[in-house]
Structure 1
């Protein structure tokens, strides 16, 4: 038979006799009892106020905390000012005179409710979120292993390509050496043959003359022709071969031509994760930390590009790399080292009108000549939007992942079109009265409050509409500008404070206005013909200098 005291399937037994079925419970001592053992339990320690209840009603009797100031006193009240439990003697002593007191049961219930809510949040929201984050980090680590493996493979393949090219070059140079050698040997051999022929002639002359002079037959002597020695006194020219020299290239410059790695880093984004219950990142309009404008903006660095003619636009790929556009190419530069990392030539071979970077990090450019909007993936160009009767100009990638494209028709109308992929979602062209919003737009950007901001070169204004396309304001410059010329807007961008920054091409400066169109200040920093603008995640401003073919990184917020 199964032992009733050890059977997992049996009912609970009295903690004292360990045989009888539990019927009662001491809430004071947290002991299970049968009815027969109640008296024995109480008599064991009569100093305690034993609260014996039916087993089904256990834990119904509150256990008040003992007072730390008055021995054997239970705290039935709670001082809200001192944030401690108090007993009746504490209250009578006047220590808590004038303090707000609450019943400790009420405070305990509130605290219990708060703890229960926190436990629910910990169990149902926070812990699963951390679990997802851990999984995300593990996936990132796996992806990192793969991508670094791909990087090493790419370097190895590039090295193999170089080896093949070097082998071809060595073979070509050695073939040239053989060809030079053979040419010179053939020339020398011909020269030698001529010398040997002359030597044979001289020997015959000697033999003939020896015969004539070694006889007393004068007829033979007079048969010897006139002397030809003067012919032989004119010695042949001396041929001196000039051996070519091999001038090796400098090994120190090998890495410059072979390629270089851009810098690596781990970026930290405090808004990168969200709770499992929401599953979305902060919206574009969420409030960032407040930053103030510097009294004197300062140039942090200057990047010298390799464009032959003109440099137009710039866009940040990351805080370490920027894409630029000019001539017929788009070039990726390392910001800190100023190195050219990559160069992409447009399909048309013409200057790209504008460039942007998508949320996934792909380069986008507009082509005036082909009337296309193109995306570059793995250095391959794909036409995603092909226009008829319209020419694309400015382009930007929005917080939602859409593309905003400025386009001008063959009859000189201007509009902004929002695309999701190659699908047209929205067209912005006219105001509430049916009048054109734009004259001749160039560049475009989206503000943190989702306003759409365009630099309208034809109207010499910045035109700002809300996300539905309703006009908010026009900014036409601020007097006096640095050169006191009319406002000539070009590149446009926005920062974390919802400031709108516009390059003023003629006045050699950048205008900063707030999200409502109020002028704040100019940035000049020695700019000459500023054109393209972009902002990185730390609110550093990048400005292209059109004629100088330079990009300036400027700090203007503290």
Structure 2
């Protein structure tokens, strides 16, 4: 329609197409009769803006910048500009797709309105919500750090009480030794004093006999000199000494306790659903005190592997050729014996719920499906150690060479080896070379994490096998040797690894920064796994139990 003649045309309602116009919705860019206004604004989810039709502005059909007296009636899709009829007839736009400028204006207006609606109704409120969350965090900051300060004060008071108790105990011991020393001296003095009194009496009697010149008295005298020639015992005392222990500041700090590092993680903002992007998992903060929620008695003498089938069912492996599926009540649901009769080196559950186990002795990896065992991995010259199932349903297996001079991680798709990880960029071995367990897990960010017990390190490489970092224990702990055994990861990309001889679990972030310990009265924790709700299952080798722990 020619904008110069638009006012002469009969204007009808865009909805009913019969009645004359009286109103215009600027939000939806449509013209309405009086009857249709009510129906149009009945949708309260949209912020309509209805004005009198006289106020509705006609599109401004600008004049052509090249031909000053011409209005632009067309739109060149290729050049992305309005053009006049003269421009269209020129060679400049020959073969270009042209549309009606008013139709183009209408479609662009609708696009702008959609953007405005999304900004007003969805995007801006999310920013407001985030700003409110930050303000709330600022408000609670004083309380959270106040709790830390109070905890430090309480620990200080506890240490003061302990030191006072130690000092009082030492003083009590000193007093007791002093009393014993004094008692012995007094007893010795009493004995000597008694002997001296006897001697005085004998000497007095002798003088009287000599002075009497009496033969009968002299004849009755019996000498006791030989008795008194043996002197009473003499005690030699060594007064105790106090040897103050030199105060080691590092040991004192370790005794007092340590703070976990402040973790500031920049999380990529959610892409809202309209962009059809997969959102990040909900953030689950660490609990101040992890909670033991269940204990499973496995019936083994020792248990070293655990893998979740569901929230209340776990596969377990111990020093026995039988692998057991148990529930939280310690009830045996299923048991599978290894094909060879050897101990299973490690177990894992695949994405579709099948059991996988490795056999170090006969160098195989085996899949259990419908209680039937199928050998899917066979090796020559290498022995499989530990195994995990990945997000892409591959298997990652740690291996050691027959002569125990090399170790590596191998990825399998089905029975096909698709990746081998053995050396860093300088050609140095990534992993220690002996047969000790090297439990393995894939992180949510697709990093490959290995608890290399012999090296006393957690070794993490990225998806392509490039070394990211090594974790060798909390940096403030110089007294206890880090002893990593089992390893697992969770939905937050945390890395959890057992510290076997120190009876605890380390929680790291995805970059290897220490976050926290889990203790829960663990006794030689070994294998680990988490279920879909991030509950942690710990194979406790010392008691042959599996503990379920909530830590998020």
Measured against the shorter chain, the TM-score band is: 0.5 to 0.7
Residue in 1 aligned with 2:377?
476
Contact 1:454/1:464 (8 A) holds in 2: yes
Residue in 1 aligned with 2:356?
454
Residues 51-90 of structure 1 aligned to structure 2 (within 5 Å): 56-59=53-56, 61-69=58-66, 71=68, 73-88=70-85, 90=87
Which of 289, 294, 315 lines up with 1:383 in the alignment?
294
Q: Over residues 424-445 of structure 1, what are the superposed CA-to-partner deviations in whole Å (9 max), with x where a residue is unaligned? A: 9x98989xxxxx9x99766444
Kindly report the root-mean-square deviation, in angstroms, between the aligned alpha carbons of the 2 structures: 5.6
Contact 1:393/1:406 (8 A) holds in 2: no
Contact 2:363/2:379 (8 A) holds in 1: no
Which of 104, 109, 122 lines up with 1:112 in the alignment?
109
Which of 385, 398, 401 lines up with 1:503 in the alignment?
398
Contact 1:541/1:554 (8 A) holds in 2: yes
Contact 1:64/1:76 (8 A) holds in 2: yes
Q: Structure 2 CA distance, aligned partners of 1:472 and 1:97? A: 71
User: What SS does the corresponding residue of 1:186 show, helix, strand or coil?
Assistant: helix
Pair 1:409–1:263, CA change in 2 (3 A): closer
Pair 1:407–1:156, CA change in 2 (3 A): same
Deviation at 1:265, TM superposition (A): 0.5
Deviation at 1:406, TM superposition (A): 1.6
Deviation at 1:453, TM superposition (A): 6.0
Q: Structure 2 CA distance, aligned partners of 1:190 and 1:413? A: 73
Deviation at 1:200, TM superposition (A): 5.2
Which of 450, 453, 460 lines up with 1:543 in the alignment?
450
Which of 233, 240, 243 lines up with 1:243 in the alignment?
240
Residue in 2 aligned with 1:346?
none
Deviation at 1:225, TM superposition (A): 9.1
Residue in 2 aligned with 1:264?
262
Q: Structure 2 CA distance, aligned partners of 1:384 and 1:272? A: 38
User: What SS does the corresponding residue of 1:109 show, helix, strand or coil?
Assistant: helix
Q: Structure 1: any 5+ residue segments left out of the alignment?
A: 1-22, 26-53, 284-317, 319-358, 363-376, 431-435
Contact 2:88/2:94 (8 A) holds in 1: yes
User: What SS does the corresponding residue of 1:63 show, helix, strand or coil?
Assistant: coil
Deviation at 1:179, TM superposition (A): 0.6
Q: Structure 2 CA distance, aligned partners of 1:144 and 1:159? A: 23
Deviation at 1:177, TM superposition (A): 0.9
Deviation at 1:184, TM superposition (A): 0.7
Pair 1:428–1:227, CA change in 2 (3 A): closer
Deviation at 1:156, TM superposition (A): 3.9
Residues 109-148 of structure 1 aligned to structure 2 (within 5 Å): 109-134=106-131, 137=134, 148=145
Residues 17-416 of structure 1 aligned to structure 2 (within 5 Å): 56-59=53-56, 61-69=58-66, 71=68, 73-88=70-85, 90-91=87-88, 94-134=91-131, 137=134, 148-197=145-194, 237=234, 239-248=236-245, 250-252=247-249, 253-270=251-268, 275=273, 281=279, 378=289, 381-383=292-294, 394-397=305-308, 402=311, 405-407=314-316
Q: Structure 2 CA distance, aligned partners of 1:543 and 1:81? A: 55
Deviation at 1:245, TM superposition (A): 1.4
Residue in 2 aligned with 1:527?
433
Deviation at 1:414, TM superposition (A): 5.1
Pair 1:208–1:462, CA change in 2 (3 A): same
Q: Structure 2: any 5+ residue segments left out of the alignment?
A: 1-21, 25-50, 423-428, 467-552
Pair 1:279–1:452, CA change in 2 (3 A): farther
Pair 1:110–1:151, CA change in 2 (3 A): same
Contact 1:85/1:104 (8 A) holds in 2: yes
Q: Over residues 288-314 of structure 1, what are the superposed CA-to-partner deviations in whole Å (9 max), with x where a residue is unaligned? A: xxxxxxxxxxxxxxxxxxxxxxxxxxx
Q: Over residues 456-487 of structure 1, what are the superposed CA-to-partner deviations in whole Å (9 max), with x where a residue is unaligned? A: 43985434589xx79998531344xxxx15x4
Q: Structure 2 CA distance, aligned partners of 1:464 and 1:271? A: 40
Q: Structure 2 CA distance, aligned partners of 1:158 and 1:204? A: 69
Residue in 2 aligned with 1:513?
411
Deviation at 1:539, TM superposition (A): 4.8
Q: Over residues 492-515 of structure 1, what are the superposed CA-to-partner deviations in whole Å (9 max), with x where a residue is unaligned? A: 235566653123367453442244
Deviation at 1:112, TM superposition (A): 1.5
Deviates more, 1:501-510 or 1:403-412: 403-412
Pair 1:442–1:130, CA change in 2 (3 A): farther
Task: Give me the TM-score of the superposition, normalised by structure 2.
Answer: 0.54
Residue in 2 aligned with 1:553?
459
Pair 1:452–1:257, CA change in 2 (3 A): farther
User: What SS does the corresponding residue of 1:476 show, helix, strand or coil?
Assistant: strand
Q: Structure 2 CA distance, aligned partners of 1:538 and 1:242? A: 67
Pair 1:271–1:460, CA change in 2 (3 A): farther
Deviation at 1:258, TM superposition (A): 2.8
Deviation at 1:409, TM superposition (A): 12
User: What SS does the corresponding residue of 2:378 show, helix, strand or coil?
Assistant: coil
Q: Over residues 208-251 of structure 1, what are the superposed CA-to-partner deviations in whole Å (9 max), with x where a residue is unaligned? A: 899999x8x8779x979989699679797473432331423524
Deviation at 1:57, TM superposition (A): 4.9
Q: Structure 1 CA distance, aligned partners of 2:223 and 2:81? A: 145
Q: Structure 2 CA distance, aligned partners of 1:108 and 1:475? A: 63
Q: Over residues 86-128 of structure 1, what are the superposed CA-to-partner deviations in whole Å (9 max), with x where a residue is unaligned? A: 3445556654455444332232222222222222333343334
